[in-house]
Amino acid sequence: MASAITVGTIQSEAALSARRVSVLLFDLLPTVPYYSGHLARALAQEENLELALASATYTHDRDFFQRMAVNKSPRCLDFAFRVPSRGIRRAFKLAEYLVNLAALRASFLKNKPDVIHVQFTPLMEHQLPFELWFLKSARRMGIKLVYTVHNLLPHEHSERLRASYAELYSIVDHFVCHDEVTSDRLKTEFGIDNKKVSVIPHGPLFSESTASGPRPLLLTGLEPNTRVVLWQGIIRPYKGISQLLRAWKQARQSGMNAALMIVGTGDQDTIDSINAEIRSLAIESSVRLDLRFVSVEELAGYYEAADVVVYPYTAVTTSGALMTGIGHGKAIIASDLPAFRQTLQNEKNALLIAHQDVNGWANALSLLTSNDDYRKRLAQRLTEDQGRRADWKQIANETARVYRTL
């Protein structure tokens, strides 16, 4: 009996793998280009899978998809990234986005994919229904919809948008979540059937740039024994920079010898608020800012220079920034949130502190910048733990299985 079951299972898996599937990977803006690019490259190696990426050029890293050798959909317009003015470019991006939605929908009349795998629906965050209309239309044509839950709900104004996302989730055939916490919330909060959810981990990012980058100019003038703490990412209120700055002032007052680098870009109001808070806390001498999009090479330099990487978020579903910090083998302090606990274990491979606990954050910063052995031990353990996680080949294989099962 055991032998028969084994043979039957093998035959079933073989039949599944032989099933040819065409997939449109949908990240049209794009919103998560590095995730989409790595996934697309890995999926392209899967047998019997025809893949096209529906995405415009990523303005901040224009050659990324070419470096990844990703096959982009020829049906998509791609010109807005060339507009030099940021304000005008945003208007052109919206127009381009809407035209591309219409063009893709028209193309399905002649050559429709079996599956659309959605990475993000950015217009829904602004209560615009165009993506929902597009996906409903595709589903009426018999196209299966897969949705990766990078954010269960937008971190800002989440409750206001809950009904819109409930409508979106109701038409999805299958979901990909990166951890059990998100999977459980999806089932509990939106009533999604367990059979429609697969937990497939997030893969490592920037693995093509593991070599050291140039030493950042922000570090010019620092004493050789000054430890460096890095916050890096898209600057948004929920990512906790304000709490971090208050904890930083307290740690400096207790005698901590360290410099804080804040690296990333965001809307001007948030950036102005950060600058004002640094001045009001009188911590300008130890906080250095690079408030722009930095290249992959520069990013490698920042992580190489850092001793500690921090994630003081007030909320999170999945964090590509966390995967980047882990991939560079750094000691980590993060908010004690369910999503982070899927990867980080307090005092075993990282320090987890309640995001509102300014004293706890100050103590953690002082500890990891002063205790070299402890800091290195946490980083080494986290690197070892991550070495046992899935790589992009495994992630692509599991994702392709979802397509074929549908």
Residue 12: its pLDDT value, please? 65
Q: Print the SS3 string covering 132-146.
A: HHHHHHHHHCCCEEE
Q: Residue-wise pLDDT tens for the chain (406 aa)?
A: 444 445 455 456 666 777 799 999 999 999 999 999 999 999 999 999 999 999 999 998 999 999 999 988 887 899 999 998 888 999 999 999 999 999 999 999 999 999 999 999 999 999 999 999 999 999 999 999 999 999 999 877 778 999 999 999 999 999 999 999 999 999 999 999 999 999 999 988 875 444 566 678 778 888 888 999 999 998 989 999 999 999 999 999 999 999 999 999 988 899 999 999 999 999 999 999 999 988 888 888 999 999 999 999 998 877 788 888 888 889 999 999 998 998 999 999 999 999 999 999 999 999 999 999 999 999 999 988 887 778 999 999 999 999 999 9
8-state DSSP, 34: H
Q: Which amino acid is at 126?
A: H
**275 part of a folded domain:** yes
* Domain shared by 283 and 335, yes or no: yes
Question: Cis bond leading into 74, ω under 30°?
Answer: no
* Domain shared by 307 and 279, yes or no: yes
**247 part of a folded domain:** yes
- Residue 3, classed as helix, strand or coil, is helix
**170 part of a folded domain:** yes
User: Could you tell me the CATH number of the domain that includes residue 140?
Assistant: 3.40.50.2000
**251 part of a folded domain:** yes
* Domain shared by 178 and 221, yes or no: no
* Domain shared by 47 and 192, yes or no: yes
d(CA 342, CA 175): 19
**231 part of a folded domain:** yes
d(CA 103, CA 98): 9
**3 part of a folded domain:** no
Encoding tokens for residue 129? Answer: 């229904």
pTM of the model: 0.86
Instruction: Give the phi and the psi of residue 197 in degrees, each rounded to 5.
Output: -125, 130
- Residue 381, classed as helix, strand or coil, is helix
* Domain shared by 248 and 357, yes or no: yes
Q: Which amino acid is at 167?
A: E
* Domain shared by 38 and 141, yes or no: yes
* Domain shared by 110 and 180, yes or no: yes
**6 part of a folded domain:** no
The total domain count for the chain is: 2
* Domain shared by 334 and 286, yes or no: yes
**CA 9 vs CA 6, 14, 132, 199: distances in Å:** 5, 9, 38, 21
Q: Print the SS3 string covering 239-286.
A: HCHHHHHHHHHHHHHCCCCEEEEEECCECHHHHHHHHHHHHHHCCCCC
Residue 6: its pLDDT value, please? 52
* Domain shared by 278 and 365, yes or no: yes
Residue 235: its pLDDT value, please? 92
Pair 33, 65: CB distance under 8 Å? yes
Residue 14: its pLDDT value, please? 66
d(CA 322, CA 324): 5
Encoding tokens for residue 372? Answer: 């070299």
What secondary structure does DSSP assign to 162-230, as a single string? HHHHHHHHHT-SEEEESSHHHHHHHHHHH---GGGEEE-PPPPSSGGG-S--PPPGGGTT--TT-EEEE
Instruction: Note down the domain range covering 287.
Output: 207-386
Encoding tokens for residue 403? Answer: 């397509």
| Beta bridge pairs of residue 22 | 50
* Domain shared by 197 and 293, yes or no: no
Residue 109 burial (CB count, 10 A): 8
**13 part of a folded domain:** no
* Domain shared by 161 and 274, yes or no: no
Residue 333: its pLDDT value, please? 98
336 exposure class (CB count in 10 Å sphere: 0-12, 13-18, 19+) = middle
* Domain shared by 246 and 162, yes or no: no
